[in-house]
A and B are shown apart, each in its own frame.
Chain A
């Protein structure tokens, strides 16, 4: 099934839970946060959250910086 992750289309097998998605993307689960269709998913709910086709996922982490003109829009 196709979902959007950080603005990019990606194909995954069905029955994709958030922990599985994180693992498939080779991400470390600490210090990241996940938003599904504009709603933050609490870490305690990751296991219970199964993704469906056309879901939009945003996965974020922290970086140095503040607002500056070099940011891509």
Chain B
């Protein structure tokens, strides 16, 4: 396979646990469990999101968690919640079932766009943070909102790159860059809208600490291959960010001496 990438010395920390991988992946939209597991393996991800749903009463279902690699950290989400109250109840149920304080907070404002309801998200974040949850909120890439979420006690913020499942990539790179500059110590995880490897690399080059994605991998023609691409892209983007890129210039700058040329 590929040679191991030059390791970055720092790890990415959430909720007291350190992660080597800066890729968090989802579990939705895969055609089969085998495909999901192969993609998860190829991605090198160490944390995966799952949703909370009513148990069907009319048929027996196998446990979804049994299909996940046992070494993966589980990050339950409040997918499908449209109000703070729904999200808070879902989070409490997830904590009871899993015994984890981690929660990915999603409060959707509109079914068509799946944009987050920032106001309800903030309300839920405040309540959950007070109850000791480790809240990772999904929200629009808004600096002011990020500050409020961090002040509410969220250890990280998850600005969207583009609408969920759109694959449009980073729609507002300036916003992300500003957020990173204005919140130098915050953990910023780009979530939603990544489509292909370069999108993930750009997110990391802009200073994101990690990227969360699902559709980009699950809906690729070869999901395991795309998962590997994402793994490499995130490593490359992180290295480039740490290396400190050159400045952009309007005009060319010669890299060899001007004198001594044969004429």
With a cutoff of 8 Å between Cβ atoms, the chain A residues found around residue B64 in the complex are: 61-64
State which of B53-61, B173-181, B221-229, B249-257 sits at the interface with chain A.
B53-61
Taking a contact as CB atoms under 8 Å apart, the answer to whether B57 and A6 are in contact is yes
Taking a contact as CB atoms under 8 Å apart, the answer to whether B55 and A32 are in contact is yes
* Minimum distance in angstroms from A46 CB to a CB of chain B: 11
* Minimum distance in angstroms from A41 CB to a CB of chain B: 8
For residue A48, CB closer than 8 A to chain B, the reply is: no
Interface size on B, residues (CB 8 A): 42
For residue B43, CB closer than 8 A to chain A, the reply is: no
With a cutoff of 8 Å between Cβ atoms, the chain B residues found around residue A33 in the complex are: 52, 93-94, 96-97
Out of A35, A40, A64, which one reaches B28, CB within 8 Å?
Answer: A64
A1-35 vs B, Cβ < 8 Å mask (1 yes, 0 no): 00001111010000000000000011110111111
Taking a contact as CB atoms under 8 Å apart, the answer to whether A67 and B106 are in contact is yes
Taking a contact as CB atoms under 8 Å apart, the answer to whether B96 and A38 are in contact is no
Taking a contact as CB atoms under 8 Å apart, the answer to whether A66 and B36 are in contact is no
For residue B49, CB closer than 8 A to chain A, the reply is: yes
Taking a contact as CB atoms under 8 Å apart, the answer to whether A69 and B114 are in contact is yes
Interface size on A, residues (CB 8 A): 34
Closest chain B residue to A59, Cβ basis = B55
A21 to B26, CA, bound (A): 32
Taking a contact as CB atoms under 8 Å apart, the answer to whether B108 and A65 are in contact is no
Assuming A62-B50, A63-B50, what are 8 further A-B pairs, CB within 8 angstroms? A6-B57, A26-B60, A40-B93, A59-B55, A62-B65, A65-B51, A67-B80, A67-B164
Lowest 8 CB-CB distances: which A-B pairs, in order? A65-B28, A64-B27, A33-B97, A33-B93, A33-B96, A6-B54, A67-B79, A66-B79
For residue B2, CB closer than 8 A to chain A, the reply is: no
Taking a contact as CB atoms under 8 Å apart, the answer to whether A40 and B80 are in contact is no
Taking a contact as CB atoms under 8 Å apart, the answer to whether B54 and A58 are in contact is yes
For residue B9, CB closer than 8 A to chain A, the reply is: no
A33 to B98, CA, bound (A): 9
Using known A-B contacts A31-B65, A67-B114, determine if residue A7 contacts B54 with beta carbons closer than 8 Å.
yes
With a cutoff of 8 Å between Cβ atoms, the chain A residues found around residue B54 in the complex are: 6-7, 58-60
Using known A-B contacts A31-B97, A33-B97, A69-B111, determine if residue A61 contacts B63 with beta carbons closer than 8 Å.
yes
Closest chain B residue to A30, Cβ basis = B63
Within 8 A of A (CB), among B10-34: 26-30
* Minimum distance in angstroms from B82 CB to a CB of chain A: 8
With a cutoff of 8 Å between Cβ atoms, the chain B residues found around residue A73 in the complex are: 82, 111
With a cutoff of 8 Å between Cβ atoms, the chain A residues found around residue B130 in the complex are: none
Using known A-B contacts A6-B57, A40-B93, determine if residue A68 contacts B164 with beta carbons closer than 8 Å.
yes
With a cutoff of 8 Å between Cβ atoms, the chain B residues found around residue A42 in the complex are: 96
B37-50 vs A, Cβ < 8 Å mask (1 yes, 0 no): 00000000000011
